Amino acid sequence: MLKNVTSYYYGGAYYEKSGSGYKAVAPPAGAVVDNLPAGGEEVKIGDQTYVKVGETYYQPVQVDGKNKYEVSQVEEGTK
């Protein structure tokens, strides 16, 4: 069962409400960010190039003529 969760983005990280505070969480697939967190490495999977930061894959995209990055869900079997 899926639950509706609101994620918040601040200072390069995603957070969810947890009790009376917030906890850091993995970025949700489909989220688009302007800048990548530090420490990314370019990886090629099939014919697609991603930037991997930790366990998160970002796909370069164009939004309104600007370079951005979309959080992508990459299945283990496709690596």
Confidence (pLDDT) at 76: 56
Confidence (pLDDT) at 44: 93
pLDDT digits (tens, 9 = 90+) for 1-57: 345 667 787 777 788 888 899 998 888 889 898 888 888 899 999 889 999 988 889
Cβ neighbours of residue 65 under 8 Å, at least 6 residues apart?
none
Instruction: Supply 28's token pair.
Output: 């949700």
Burial class (CB in 10 A: 0-12, 13-18, 19+), 55: exposed
- How far, in Å, CA of 37 to CA of 52, rounded? 10
Residue predicted with more confidence, 59 or 35: 59
Q: Calculate Rg over the CA atoms of the chain.
A: 14
Confidence (pLDDT) at 2: 41
Model confidence at 69, pLDDT cuts 50, 70, 90, reads very high
Confidence (pLDDT) at 55: 86
